[in-house]
Amino acid sequence: MPRHAGAPCSREEERAVTIELGVFHNGASDLKAITTPDGVVVNDGSLEEVHASYQRVLIGQVRQGILAERLGFDYWFMTEHHFMPEGPEFSPNPLLVEAAIAAQTRRIRFGQMANIVPWWHPVRLAEQAAMLDVISGGRLEMGIGRGYQPREAEVWGWRYGSTIQDQERNRRYFEEAYEIILKCWTQGSFSHHGEYWSIPPRHTKWHHKSTMAYFSLPKAGRRVEDVLQIGPPDLYSMGSPIMAATTTLKELSVFPQPVQKPHPQFWEPVTSERSIRWAARNGVNAFTVPEPTSRLKRNIEIYYEEAEKNGWPDRLGRGRFKFGWDSQKKRGFGCCRYVHILQRGKEQEDLARYRNALELQWDYYGPFGFAAVLSDLGEPMYDLNMKVTADLLMQKEIAIVGTAEEVIRKILRIKETCGYEDFFFTAWFEAGGYRTEEIEEQMAIFASEVMPVLRRECGGGPTLPESTVQLVPERVPAGAPAAGS
């Protein structure tokens, strides 16, 4: 596609094209996948074995995140999913896993596809995500999503009234929570009173001398009357001085705030035009997996049309950004694909096993209606109840499978077809039934045989800042006891 309309590029923007490379980990079980008599591919293991499998997968996620940096990848993405004995995915807290990876890395950036916002109290999510940004030295890429699976959504969302039984209510909750997270991260002290949340609740009694003393200081930045509604004593209260008054809390301060200012970049996994347009209007990067390249191309165009129409929304107010992806501004539309490089000399055996792994996932995903987005533009929409086969995923190049040379060719074809200026590509190596060591081998082969060619063909890789956070003491303080004493 030709360069999108808008302000002309600066000389810096006209530099050589860059490719940024990520790894996505969905947390599939490492147990063997089998086909049941009904033709459905699932885990082959007892519940006890599935529990043990996910413990191994969790350790593998940390290992592979650390390895990703060592191999030269730029981003590490994880999902949030719960309660799956069937085996396709597991990741109950991506922020926690990424904090463990951050402690052992300096450069790789951490995204979530996504933190499912309607399952969280927005203030708690803001706190925990900001903690990752601080620990990692400003490497958080904040992924937000709405969720779609009722088994998870009903368990986590019922207390907030944000389940997926009412999609419009779920969407309104998501958008309000997004506003609250922004306030937590950008305002020293804030309040929010909306459809779902009253923060702080207007009835919160707080007659605390320390709070009044602190906000009496000129340097505090807010006044006592900004944060407290001072009232007379409550003559009927038998509680502490804090409660024995009618003084109530008006504003709240949330700690920590992120290192990145004004806040980390937000991302959203998208499939519908409505979600694509919302992301573009709000300066949120888009990310996609299960759609053919023709549909990806059209969705990128929709995103950029909406961004241009709304004045190129951006957290730093930097104006237009390159079509598809802008490596300097870290803005645009990320692409993700399954990637599997076949073993030399064992291609047919390897392919049969990988087919089974793909169908483990898509026998699970299919009933949610994802088959509808697998049809190319101009094709009749696929039946929602159709069985999605590995062959279809490979035909559509949603699963990129083959020799290293074939994988390179297929990845570059996405870039050319969609008209990316810079390119953002994320590889999904992990698959059901594969052990940690096998996934790491796939990552290493990609890094040695595919990555250098992609970097060369696309003008090189990004320059990412390294964390300077010192998490390990350089020396033991004098007088401290020796370890083990």
Closest residue by Cα to residue 421 from 292, 328, 309: 328
- pLDDT of the residue at 2: 36
- pLDDT of the residue at 485: 60
State the distance between the two ends of the chain, measured CA to CA, in whole angstroms. Answer: 67
pTM of the predicted protein model: 0.95
Splitting the chain (485 residues) into consecutive groups of 10 residues, what average pLDDT does each group show?
A: 39 65 98 95 97 98 99 99 96 98 99 98 99 99 97 95 95 98 99 98 97 98 98 87 95 99 98 97 96 97 99 98 98 98 97 97 95 92 93 98 99 98 98 98 99 98 96 85 69
Between CA 61 and CA 64, with CA 62 as vertex, the angle to 5 degrees is: 65
Question: Strand pairing of 331-341 and 399-402?
Answer: parallel
3-state secondary structure of 24: strand
Which residues partner with 233 through β-bridges?
245
3-class DSSP string for 384-402: CCCCCCHHHHHHCCCEEEE
Which tokens belong to 161? Answer: 């009234």
- The CA distances from residue 9 to 151, 228, 320, 342, in Å, are 47, 49, 8, 41
Integer Cα distance of 376 and 368 in angstroms: 19
Integer Cα distance of 86 and 91 in angstroms: 14
DSSP class of residue 284? P
Which residues partner with 157 through β-bridges?
none
Which residues partner with 248 through β-bridges?
205, 229
Dihedral over alpha carbons 65, 70, 72, 73 (to 10 degrees): 0
- The CA distances from residue 225 to 24, 52, 200, 249, 272, in Å, are 48, 55, 15, 10, 45
Do residues 206 and 284 lie in contact, with contact meaning Cβ atoms separated by under 8 Å?
Answer: no
Asked if residue 2 has a cis previous peptide bond (ω within 30° of 0), the answer is no
Integer Cα distance of 301 and 288 in angstroms: 14
Within 10 angstroms of residue 120's Cβ, the number of other Cβ atoms is 21
- pLDDT of the residue at 236: 84
Region of residue 312 (phi > 0: left; psi between -120 and 50: alpha; otherwise: beta) = left
Give the length of the chain: 485
Do residues 359 and 390 lie in contact, with contact meaning Cβ atoms separated by under 8 Å?
Answer: yes
Which residues partner with 142 through β-bridges?
266
Contacts of 359 (CB under 8 A, 6+ apart): 33, 41, 388, 389, 390
3-state secondary structure of 425: strand
Instruction: Return the CATH architecture of domain 19-190+260-457.
Output: Alpha-Beta Barrel (3.20)
Contacts of 460 (CB under 8 A, 6+ apart): 16, 18, 19
Contacts of 308 (CB under 8 A, 6+ apart): 4, 5, 6, 320
What residue spans define the domains of the chain? 19-190+260-457, 201-250
- pLDDT of the residue at 455: 98
- State residue 459 phi and psi, 5-degree precision: 90, 10
